[in-house]
Amino acid sequence: AIMPVEADPKDMSVGYGGRPDREGVVTLDACIMDSEGNAGSVTFLQDIMHPISVARKVMEETPHVILSGDGAKQFALEQGFDSVDLFTDQSRKEFKQWLKEAKYRPVSNIENHDTIGLLALDKEGHLSGGCSTSGMAYKLHGRVGDSPIIGAGLFVDDEIGAATATGVGEMVLKTLGSFLIVELMRSGKSPQEACEIAVKRVIDKYDCKDIQVGYIAMNKKGEFGAYAIQAGFSYTVTSAKMNEIFKAKSFFTQ
C-alpha cells in the first residue's frame, strides 16, 4: 500500500518526486513494524525509490532497527535495489523557484510536507504498520523527522493497537506521539480519544497556530480514530466492507 505512493511522481512529499532539502538533495525516511514487535527503519536515505522496502529488509535481514544515510544506501544496493534519480521535472522546477528566496517555513496543509502512514489489521487479527516520507520540503541537509523513529512516526503493539503520525515531525518526536497513543489505548482509551489526547499534548506544550500534526490509530478490534491540530487532514479506511475517505476532526476547525 505504501509503495505506489512512493513511486507516484505527483506526490511531492513521499519517495520519487519528493521535494529535496535546501541543498537540493532528496532524502527519505521510512519505518515498518510487524505484529511480533519487529521493526526496521531507514533515515536520510538517498536515490532509492522504495524506502519502505529497504526498512523491511533492515527488519528482516539485519540484527538492527535503523540504518542511516550512506550506510542505508549501501545496504539497499547490496539487497538489489536500484539507484535512481528521485527528482522529477516538477520537483526540480519548484526547487529552482524556491532557491530565489530560499525561505524555510513549513506551511500546514499546503503540501510542503506529508507522509503516507499505514496501519493494517490482517484476517487473523494481527496488527502491523509502516510510514514513508521525503520529510519537510527544503529542510536543513541532514534533518531526520519523526517518520523513521519507532514510537514517534509509528508504533505497533499487537496486544493493543497501532498509531502513525503526519505533520511537523519535530512536534511528534518531542512528544513520542505514536507510542503515547498506543499506551493510552492500553489504559483503556479508544483510538479516537487517544489521538485527541496526543494532539492536545502537542498543543499544550508548543505554539501550534501554524503547525499541523495528525494521527491515525486502530485497536485490536479494528476500531479506528484520527485527530489533527488543523482542519484538512483526511484518511482512508479500507476493509472487506468499506473503502471510505474520512475527514479527521481537528482542534482548530478552520
> Looking at the annotation, which residues are catalytic?
115
- Judge contact between 45 and 76, C-beta under 8 A: yes
Q: Which stretch binds ligand ASP (CB under 6 A): 55-63, 82-90, 128-136, 220-228?
A: 128-136
CB atoms within 10 A of CB 98: 18
Residue 136 in contact with ligand ASP, rule: CB under 6 A: yes
The Cα 55–Cα 42 span in angstroms is 5
Pick from 17, 20, 145, 177 the residue near ligand ASP by CB under 6 A. Answer: 145
19 binds ligand ASP, rule: CB under 6 A:
no
**Phi–psi pair at 127, nearest 5 degrees:** -105, 150
- CA-wise closest residue to 117 among 10, 213, 203: 213
Q: Using CB under 6 A, which of the segments 16-24, 37-45, 140-148, 195-203 binds ligand ASP?
A: 140-148
130 binds ligand ASP per the rule CB under 6 A? no
Q: Look up residue 229 and give its three cell numbers.
A: 491540530
Of 218 and 228, CB closest to ligand ASP? 228
Residue placing its CB nearer to ligand ASP in the complex, 147 or 175: 147
By CB under 6 A, residue 147 contacts ligand ASP: yes
113 binds ligand ASP (CB under 6 A): yes
- Binding residues for ligand ASP, rule CB under 6 A, total 13
| Nearer of residues 73 and 113 to ligand ASP, judged by Cβ | 113
Distance CA 114, CA 251 (A): 19
Minimum distance, C-beta of residue 117 to ligand ASP, in the bound complex (Å)? 8
Taking the complex as a whole, the smallest distance from the CB of residue 169 to ligand ASP amounts, in Å, to 2
d(Cα 172, Cα 166) in Å, to the nearest integer?
8
Q: Which of residues 164-183 bind ligand ASP (CB under 6 A)?
A: 166-169
146 in contact with ligand ASP (CB under 6 A): yes
* Secondary structure (3-state) at 55: helix
Neighbours of 93 (CB within 10 A): 11
C-beta of residue 164 within 8 angstroms of C-beta of residue 131: yes
Q: Which is nearer to ligand ASP, 35 or 133 (CB)?
A: 133
Residue where the block lists cell 522529477: 88
How far apart are alpha carbons 149 and 76 in whole angstroms? 19
Contacts with ligand ASP, residue ranges (CB under 6 A): 113-115, 133, 135-136, 145-147, 166-169
